[in-house]
Structure formats: C-alpha cells, structure tokens
Amino acid sequence: MKIEREKVPHLLKLIWQRRSIRRFSEQPVDREAILLCLEAARWAPSAENVQPWRFLVIDDPPIKQKFAEAVFSGIYFPSRFAQQAPVLILVLAELDILANRIGKQIQGVAYYLLDIGMAGEHLVLQAEELGLSTCWIGWFNLKKARKFFAIPRKYKIISLLALGYAAKRPPRSPQKRSLSEIAWFNEMGKSCPEISDFELNFHPDDSLQAKAKSNGQEKIND
C-alpha cells in the first residue's frame, strides 16, 4: 500500500511532532492559549458523558514557584525541570459521580482514568498546534499538592501537565512500538499485509527534524 507523504493528515503530523518537552523557555503563555487548550479538553468523550476532568491551572509565577518547591522536593526532585514551565496544570478527577463507581464495580475498568487521559491528550495536541509544548508529569508529591491547594477529598489528583514554549527539543523520535506489534486484524496476533509497506512509507523522523530546525530550537538528548 503506497501512501504519499504529502497526503499525511494534519493531525497525524501534529501527533508525530509532539514530544514530551523538559526544557522550557521563559516566554509566558497567554490566557487565551490556555483557554483554547482547556476548551479542546472539554470536548473529549467520556463514559456516560460524566466529564470527570477538572483542571487547576497554575500560571501565577510566585504561586507556581512555591507549589513546585513543595511537590518536586525529595524523591520527586527529577521532576524539578517542570518548574521552568510557565504553566503547570493539575489534572484532577471528580470522583463522586455514580457512573464512575458503577463502571469500576461492574466492568472492573476505572473509566474515569480513560476519560481523563483523553481530555488531557486533547489539551496536549491543541497546545502542540498552537506552537506550545507539554510534558505529562506523574512523579510529584500528591499529598503536598493536595495540601497546597486544600483540594477536597472528592477530587483525585491524577497528574500534572507542564505547558510552555520549548527551549530545546529531543533530537530523535522516541522508541515507539511498531504497528505490527500493537495492532492485529481479525485474529489475535494476526498482522495484515499492508502494515509493512505502511511502516516503510510512514517514518516520521525527517519531518520532526525539519520542524525542530525551522523552530530554531536546539536539540538535546532526553
């Protein structure tokens, strides 16, 4: 199956371009851009349409500084890089919604996590389209985060998102599993003949490098 590079859909190009960014410039992010990202999150699908996501945006520099000192201390020090990002977003789930509890009990699936992952990724991709960069951060002190903002127990803290303009981008695509490893057709473990051609034609490295260059960003190793 021959797929022409010019026909790569815009969304797929954005998805290829997105990387977890761990070096941010000091350039602030205006509220309008933040709101566009949150608006993208708001339109995510969710089980029973319960929309369990809540976002606590931290864009006031002194508050962000104090928060970062609290949540990235001790064993969480490796996440300190996120302090440079002009915006941190605490991603919360509101748990006192019946549908979430039933889903977990009957199906054994915590659908709210799925919902929140989707909303978060909408946010991330909208940010990418606006020329912003992001990094999901799970490694931070949850107890201190709760205490810092006096977050009531009915909200579960799921993750943090760092948001800002990239100062440096990693030089290479991250190692991603191949399509044939992750996708099967009509039978467990069964590939389809089009996959190998598809993979040969669709390697995103060149476009990523070109994009990084055109942004004038330095390249770094992760």
Ligand X SMILES: Cc1cc2nc3c(=O)[nH]c(=O)nc-3n(C[C@H](O)[C@H](O)[C@H](O)COP(=O)(O)O)c2cc1C
Q: By CB under 6 A, name the one of 99, 136, 191, 215 that touches ligand X.
A: 136
- What is d(CA 70, CA 62) in angstroms, rounded to the nearest whole number? 13
CA angle 111, 21, 71 (to 5 degrees): 65
Binding of ligand X at residue 92 (CB under 6 A)? Answer: no
Cα separation, 203 vs 189, whole angstroms = 23
Stretch that binds ligand X, among 4-12, 64-72, 83-91, 134-142 (CB under 6 A): 134-142
- Record the tokens describing residue 175, joined without a space: 């190692």
> d(Cα 10, Cα 29) in Å, to the nearest integer?
24
In whole angstroms, how close is the CB of 116 to ligand X at the nearest point? 10
Among 13, 14, 20, 171, binds ligand X (CB under 6 A): 20
Q: Decide: is 157 part of the binding site for ligand X (CB under 6 A).
A: no
Q: Is 159 in the site for ligand X (CB under 6 A)?
A: yes
Instruction: Examine residue 133 and tell whether it contacts ligand X (CB under 6 A).
Output: no
Closer to ligand X by Cβ: residue 16 or 155: 16
Q: Give the chain as a 3 state SS string.
A: CCCCHHHCCHHHHHHHHCCECCCECCCCCCHHHHHHHHHHHHCCCCHHHCCCEEEEEECCHHHHHHHHHHHCCHHHHHHHHHHHCCEEEEEEEECCCHHHHHHHHHHCCCHHHHHHHHHHHHHHHHHHHCCCEEEEECCCCHHHHHHHCCCCCCEEEEEEEEEECECEECCCCCCCCCHHHHCCCCCCCCCCCHHHHHHHHCCCHHHHHHHHHHCCCEECCC
| 23 near ligand X, judged by CB under 6 A | no
Choices 15-23, 99-107, 195-203, 207-215; region in contact with ligand X by CB under 6 A: 15-23
Shorter beta-carbon distance to ligand X: residue 47 or 162:
162
17 binds ligand X (CB under 6 A): no
Taking CB under 6 A as the rule, does residue 168 contact ligand X? Answer: no
User: Which amino acid is present at 204?
Assistant: P
The yes or no reply on residue 174 touching ligand X (CB under 6 A) is: yes
Nearer to ligand X, 159 or 217 (CB): 159
19 lies in the site for ligand X, by CB under 6 A: yes
Stretch binding ligand X (CB under 6 A), from 2-10, 19-27, 40-48, 95-103: 19-27
Q: Which listed residue (139, 148, 149, 198) binds ligand X by CB under 6 A?
A: 139
Q: Which residues bind ligand X (CB under 6 A)?
A: 19-20, 22, 79, 135-139, 159, 174
